[in-house]
Amino acid sequence: MNTILISILILGGTGIFLAVLIYYVSEKFKVIEDPRIDEVEAALPAANCGGCGFPGCRGFAVACVEADSLDHLNCTVGGIETMGKVASILGKTVVEHAPTVAVVRCGGTCEHRPRMNEYDGVKHCFIAHNLYSGETGCSWGCLGFGDCELACDFGAIKVNPVTKIPEVDEDKCTSCGACVRACPKNLIEIRKKGPKSRRVYVNCRNKEKGHISRKACNVSCIGCKKCIKVCPHEAITIAENLAFIHDDKCKLCRKCVEACPTNAIVELNFPPRKIKVENAELQHVE
Amino acid sequence: MKTFRIGGIHPEENKLSAGQRIKTITLPERVVIPLAHYSGRPSNAVVKRGDQVKVGQLIGKADGYVSANVHSSVSGKVAKVDVQLDASGYKRPAVFIDVEGDEWLETIDLTPDIERKCHFSKEEILTKIQSAGIVGLGGATFPAHVKLSPPPGKKAEVLIINAVECEPYLTCDHQLMMEKGEEILVGVTILMKVLEVKKAVIGIENNKKDAVEHLSKIAQSYPGISVEPLKVRYPQGGEKQLIDAILKRQVPSGKIPIEVGAVVMNVATTFAVYEAVQKEKPLIERVMTISGKDVKKPGNYLVRLGVYLSEVVKQTGGVPKGTGKIIGGGPMMGRSLMNLDVPMAKGSAGIVFVNEKEALRKKDKNCIRCAKCVTVCPMGLEPYLLMNQSEREMWIEMERNRVMDCIECGSCSYTCPSNRPLLDYIRYGKSTVGLRIRKRQTEKV
């Protein structure tokens, strides 16, 4: 009888002592966290894509709570809707950021850019890029082994098996920038999505002189400056034989698309033109 | 017979062009002399469009210490200084020269007599080697004057001449030894004088018995130089493997051979040193092998730098029927050429034609954990592990597993029964880890 009593007392006593100790320690070293961080995190899409520039949604929530204004913060996945919710939780105002999307700037399909050799090593863009310039004559263009496809967490970018060029699904793309970092040729760019997803951009990254790039690919930018001359908004600049359309200045007038002699400037999601109906398909390189 | 301690393979030797006398390739109408080197910074052009140049005239000046001078290999008029596609399809700076006659600089001694006595001091020889633009002709094209100037506090004890030529098919060094044996030994004495060493060993694999005999006979009249026949095993031509084979010393990880008192020079480089010091002739030509199972007349050719490989191939019988792949260099370490219109560079040791059947890789299967790759790795690495880590982008772990020690010899890929692309992934990991290390070092500074 005595033995049982002693053991109950010792065990019970130790238990009570430890409970008091744990309670004291937890009170003493309590981490006080802003409860709004949890609320903001719950409002975020939980994609953890890193498109905002922070390590995951939690990191972004902390940044939102700590920031003085939300002007420079944007969740590319949720857009204005999510940011509105975040703003209402924090009692701050929010500015609308233009929605962006990933754009692959290479039009060198098998048809336009003939294959000159066959690569039978590991089908991985980075490994092929380490080894040599690629299967075609253009050392700037897409290798087509789909590192961007592997990098995308949303299944938004897929290499078209026919053209061997990746295509972006605009509805799925959150413009997180994973594909931009994955591409060894730096072909992918985050651009403004544009009104009704309408965009005009130079579909080429080749910085060679015109005759060299044209030899390798039919739809390469040859740096002829015709687009600069027709652009009424001064939205186009040429550096190292390559044109670039600045999406903040471009008013989508499409004059450059018509002027480009190599069809290197493409328009996306525009209604078909009335005059050049037969050419519309060519220009819709999606 | 000696060989290195761990790893190694023995691929089919296929030395089809062995014993073929060195023939000279006639000059084409235009040459394109590359200014970039495989290792070190590219040289700066010192000629411009319209300049008249003679054979041996300086056209590219070394940019910094780890770089090499480039000389004109022909006489004629500079057409332009522009970019030229190299064997991997990227643009590199080069000088384009239209050939007119064959007029050499007056200072170059063109007589065939062998100059045995070297009257120059150590410093004079080093300056001559540096100004002649001599680089390692084994393939890495590392500037020779850098290798011959050991860092302060380090002293060379032995000079090792790398005449191993462990790559299958290649025979250019073998034939050079047979034809220019005496000159090579004079070159060795010059290198010994520069390094202030008393002992030199010429390492030759035993599949070149005639070269071993020939050089041993000549070496009898040169004190301190010995010839060491080695067991045939790839990659014995690797610097660290050769030191291990001959001296039984192991170069520590991340260190250079001088750490164990050895300096390794290629045999073709030694010949170039002889020509530069005794004949005042800069590095403007080298011997290369044209070979392959379907090539009608495999042979060894003396080619001026800057001649298009397509021109060399045209003069030596053209591309054989059914060729699936053309490799620049040996089949183990060489890279397939995407284009024959690339100029001959200082490191081009050969062109090997591979037929369609052998050109393509076999389909890779799963790793069966047989550890054959671990057995053959001459650096004692674990290729299967490095490949897995490279696939998963585990750079920190790869660095810890000494990926930077990999010499990219390809023994692991060669031996893998599942045809796994081990070297492809390891090379990718090595370049990424190398970038990370360099970035860390610059941040520290």
- Flag whether B104 is in a domain: no
Cβ B338–A117 below 8 Å, yes or no? yes
B290 lies in the same domain as B274? no
Tell me whether the omega of the peptide bond preceding residue B235 falls within 30 degrees of 0, making it cis. Answer: yes
Residues in B touching A215 (Cβ below 8 Å): none
**Token couple for B283:** 């590095």
Residue in A closest to B360 by C-alpha: A120
Rg (alpha carbons) of chain B, rounded to whole number: 22
Please choose, from the candidates A60, A36, A39, the residue with its C-alpha nearest in 3D space to the C-alpha of residue A49. A60
- Work out the average pLDDT over B125-144: 91
Query: Residues 6 to 45 of B: which have CB under 8 A from any A CB?
Result: none
Burial class (CB in 10 A: 0-12, 13-18, 19+), B109: middle
B130 lies in the same domain as B272? yes
Is residue A26 predicted with pLDDT exceeding 90?
yes
A76 lies in the same domain as A116? no
- Flag whether B339 is in a domain: yes
Long-range contacts formed by A15-18: CB under 8 A, 24+ apart = none
Q: 3-state SS of chain B: helix, strand, coil percent to 5?
A: 30, 20, 50
Among B82, B325, B336, pick the best mutation site for testing chain A contact (most A Cβ within 10 A): B336
pLDDT band at A285 (very low <50, low <70, confident <90, very high): very low
- Work out the average pLDDT over B342-359: 91
- Work out the average pLDDT over A87-98: 87
A135 lies in the same domain as A276? yes
State the smallest CA–CA distance between residue A227 and chain B in angstroms: 27
> Rounded distance, CA A280 to CA B86, Å?
39
- Flag whether A29 is in a domain: no
Residues in A touching B88 (Cβ below 8 Å): 131-133
A117 lies in the same domain as A247? yes
B273 lies in the same domain as B290? no
For every residue of A147-166, DSSP letters joined together read HHHHH-SSS-EEE-TTT-SE
8 Å CB contact between A44 and A37: no
- Interface of chain A against chain B, CB under 8 Å? 116-117, 120-122, 124, 126-127, 130-134, 139, 208
Give the number of domains in chain B: 4
State the smallest CA–CA distance between residue A246 and chain B in angstroms: 28
Q: List the beta bridge partners of residue B285.
A: B304
Instruction: Tell me how far CA of residue B278 lies from CA of B116, B149, B281, B361, in angstroms.
Output: 8, 20, 8, 47
- Work out the average pLDDT over A75-99: 87
Residue where one domain finishes, among candidates B312, B327, B359: B359
Cβ B338–A116 below 8 Å, yes or no? yes
User: What ipTM score was computed for the predicted complex, to two decimals?
Assistant: 0.84
**3 state SS of B189:** helix
> Rounded distance, CA A123 to CA A114, Å?
19
Owning domain of residue A74: 35-90
- Flag whether B4 is in a domain: no
B244 lies in the same domain as B262? yes
Task: Judge whether B421 is closer than 8 Å to chain A, CB to CB.
Answer: yes
- Flag whether B399 is in a domain: yes
Cβ A122–B421 below 8 Å, yes or no? yes
8 Å CB contact between B408 and B433: no
A196 lies in the same domain as A259? yes
| Encoded amino acid at B264, one letter | V
Q: What angle do CA B233, B238, B242 make, to 5 degrees?
A: 70
Q: List the beta bridge partners of residue B80.
A: B96
Compute the Cα dihedral for A173, A174, A175, A180 and give only its sign. negative
Ranges assigned E (strand) in B117-251: 158-162, 199-205, 225-230
A153 lies in the same domain as A183? yes
- Work out the average pLDDT over A111-115: 89
Burial class (CB in 10 A: 0-12, 13-18, 19+), B224: middle
What's the pLDDT tens digit per position in B80-124? 999 888 888 888 899 999 999 899 999 998 888 888 888 899 999
State phi, psi for A192 to the nearest 5 degrees.
-60, 140
A158 lies in the same domain as A276? yes
- Flag whether B21 is in a domain: no
Nearest Cβ partner for B431 among A117, A130, A132: A130
Nearest Cβ partner for B88 among A116, A131, A208: A131
B227 lies in the same domain as B210? yes
- Flag whether B268 is in a domain: yes
> Rounded distance, CA B39 to CA A271, Å?
54
A76 lies in the same domain as A151? no
What's the pLDDT tens digit per position in B206-219? 999 999 999 999 99
Select the more confidently predicted residue: B211 or B358.
B211
State the smallest CA–CA distance between residue B362 and chain A in angstroms: 9
B350 lies in the same domain as B325? yes
- Work out the average pLDDT over B178-200: 94
Residues in B touching A117 (Cβ below 8 Å): 338
- Work out the average pLDDT over B185-194: 95
Instruction: Tell me how far CA of residue B291 lies from CA of A33, B169, B171, B223, B353, in angstroms.
Output: 73, 6, 9, 37, 6
> Rounded distance, CA B100 to CA B91, Å?
26
Residue where one domain finishes, among candidates A47, A65, A90: A90
Residue where one domain finishes, among candidates B257, B278, B299: B278
B43 lies in the same domain as B92? yes
**Residue A72 pLDDT:** 86
- Flag whether A3 is in a domain: no
- Work out the average pLDDT over B24-52: 90
- Flag whether A21 is in a domain: no
CATH number reported for the structural domain that contains residue B146 in this entry: 3.40.50.11540
A125 lies in the same domain as A257? yes
**3 state SS of A16:** helix
CATH number reported for the structural domain that contains residue A76 in this entry: 1.10.15
Helix-then-strand count for chain A, H and E: 11, 8
8 Å CB contact between B35 and B45: yes
CATH number reported for the structural domain that contains residue B303 in this entry: 3.10.20.600
- Flag whether B112 is in a domain: no
CATH number reported for the structural domain that contains residue B89 in this entry: 2.40.50
Task: Judge whether B339 is closer than 8 Å to chain A, CB to CB.
Answer: yes
**Residue A284 pLDDT:** 53
Residue where one domain finishes, among candidates A62, A90, A118: A90
Task: Judge whether B357 is closer than 8 Å to chain A, CB to CB.
Answer: no
B156 lies in the same domain as B178? yes
Residue in B closest to A131 by C-alpha: B88
Count the Cβ atoms, other than its own, within 10 Å of residue A246.
Answer: 12
Task: Judge whether B395 is closer than 8 Å to chain A, CB to CB.
Answer: no
A126 lies in the same domain as A66? no
- Work out the average pLDDT over A30-34: 87
**Token couple for B289:** 């092998």
Owning domain of residue B72: 27-99
Quote the distance between the C-alpha of residue A152 and its chain's center: 9
Is residue A31 predicted with pLDDT exceeding 60?
yes
B167 lies in the same domain as B232? yes
> Rounded distance, CA B428 to CA B393, Å?
10
What's the pLDDT tens digit per position in B390-444? 999 999 999 999 999 999 999 999 999 999 999 999 999 999 999 999 999 999 8
| Encoded amino acid at A89, one letter | I
Nearest Cβ partner for B361 among A116, A120, A130: A120
For chain A, the maximum distance between any two Cα atoms, rounded to a whole number of angstroms, is: 105
**Residue A286 pLDDT:** 43
Residues in A touching B425 (Cβ below 8 Å): 122, 127
8 Å CB contact between A116 and A214: no
- Flag whether A95 is in a domain: no
What's the pLDDT tens digit per position in B292-312? 999 988 999 999 999 999 999
B352 lies in the same domain as B403? no
Residue in A closest to B359 by C-alpha: A120
> Rounded distance, CA B110 to CA B108, Å?
6
What mean pLDDT value characterizes chain B?
Answer: 92
8 Å CB contact between A104 and A167: yes
Please choose, from the candidates B435, B368, B375, B423, the residue with its C-alpha nearest in 3D space to the C-alpha of residue B399. B435
Give the number of domains in chain A: 2
What's the pLDDT tens digit per position in A148-182? 999 998 899 999 999 899 999 988 898 888 999 99
Among B86, B428, B430, B432, pick the best mutation site for testing chain A contact (most A Cβ within 10 A): B428
Rg (alpha carbons) of chain A, rounded to whole number: 28
Is residue A278 predicted with pLDDT exceeding 60?
no
Residue B289 is inside which H or E element, if any?
strand B285-292
Nearest Cβ partner for B88 among A124, A133, A208: A133
Cβ B361–A124 below 8 Å, yes or no? no
B274 lies in the same domain as B326? no
Number of Cβ pairs closer than 8 Å across A and B? 40
- Work out the average pLDDT over A42-53: 88
B156 lies in the same domain as B63? no
Nearest Cβ partner for B88 among A116, A132, A208: A132
A222 lies in the same domain as A169? yes
- Flag whether B13 is in a domain: no
